[in-house]
Amino acid sequence: MRVAIAEDSVLLREGLARLLADADFDVVARCGDADELRRALRDEVPDVVIVDIRLPPTHTDEGLQAALDIRHDHPGTGVLVLSQYVEFGLAMKLLGDSAEGVGYLLKDRVSDVPEFLGAVRRVAAGGSAIDPTIVSTLVSRRRNDDPLGPLTRREREVLELMAAGNSNQGIADQLVITVRAVEKYVSSIFDKLALPATGSESRRVLAVLLFLRT
């Protein structure tokens, strides 16, 4: 699996590259800024790019802009955005109208190596990886007419894992239950929230985020 990295901190860039290489990824480009990444993509289009949201020269939106451009120009390439902070507004901007092949994670997540590699593979394969803090913040809001009220505790757990982009298998592994059980929870959640069933695992990410936003 070919991967390109754009990260201006040398320490982190090289750490990531080594981590990925050790896990048998083919690191085709290591870039210090967004322009370098764009040039690299002209030579070779990888399966997934990992982009720091804050890149030179202004350290403002260069990384996000590059991510959006790549999503537009290379729909087959997964885009995983890393950031020191995750913001719901940025997640919505990055996702646009589809969560397919897109990830948005706190940089801290790289230290949980197996989890992180799982997220990279998922995004490369067209799935999604949304930082769990985004969903947990939305879910923890106090409200009188809580639309999540009818959900059981287990269903809430499944909802959060689902919104983070986990597959049914992934949810089953984390909760140590069967995939069949996960499927039952998912369909019950969609019923209770009156959401139309989506089928696709990345489409349900967006559906849940949009539902929680209101």
- The yes or no reply on residue 143 touching another protein (CB under 8 A) is yes
CB closer to another protein out of 19 and 28:
19
Which structure tokens are listed for 118?
């799982």
Which residues make Cβ contacts (< 8 Å) with residue 36, sequence separation at least 6? Answer: 6, 29
- The yes or no reply on residue 24 touching another protein (CB under 8 A) is no
Binding mask 95-124 for another protein (x = CB under 8 A): ------------xx-xxxxx-x--------
Question: What residues form DSSP beta bridges with 31?
Answer: 6
Stretch that binds another protein, among 134-142, 151-159, 160-168, 185-193 (CB under 8 A): 134-142
CB closer to another protein out of 48 and 90:
90
What is the rounded distance in angstroms from the CA atom of residue 74 to the CA atom of residue 70? Answer: 5
- The yes or no reply on residue 15 touching another protein (CB under 8 A) is yes
CB closer to another protein out of 83 and 168:
83
CB closer to another protein out of 10 and 197:
10
- The yes or no reply on residue 206 touching another protein (CB under 8 A) is no
To another protein, the closest distance from the beta carbon of 156 in angstroms equals 17
- The yes or no reply on residue 64 touching another protein (CB under 8 A) is yes
Footprint on this chain of another protein (rule: CB under 8 A): 9, 11-12, 15-16, 18-19, 22, 54, 59-61, 64, 84-85, 87-90, 92-93, 107-108, 110-114, 116, 134, 137-138, 141-145, 213-214
